[in-house]
Amino acid sequence: MKATLPQLVRGMVRLGSGELLTRIFYIAIVILLGHLYGVVILGVYALAMTISQYLAPVIDFGLRHIGARLISRFPHSASEIVRRVQRRRLLMAAAALPFVLLYAALAHLSLEYKIFLFLFSAIGALYAFSLD
């Protein structure tokens, strides 16, 4: 199946508009946090976002690509492959969370910011449950 130029442009506009909307909302959140709560809250939020961003590849550890390759080679075993990949991702998330807790505990922040930092990052670890 070959896509025509108009179909390709429509697909790019659809995907690009979602990305644009995401960026606009992210910038709006950053501006709101900065103006309403100050630079300290904004910094803690940025740190929590960064930890969450780096946590996803640690949890995935290439399993998304490995699982996709195995399913394409052995489609009759798809449910078993998904089950094993999910189990390993959950184990990676469980192994990473103590390090996130340690990082939050050692951060030079007040207790409520440490709690926020850990909980926000731990919520990002729910990525392990996704099947992308």
Q: pLDDT tens digit string along 3-37? A: 788 888 888 888 888 888 989 999 999 999 899 99
Residues found in the chain:
132
Any alpha helices (H) in 1-132, and if so which ranges? 5-37, 39-60, 63-73, 78-106, 111-124
In this prediction, residue 28 carries a pLDDT of: 93
Burial (CB count within 10 angstroms: exposed 0-12, middle 13-18, buried 19+), residue 93: buried
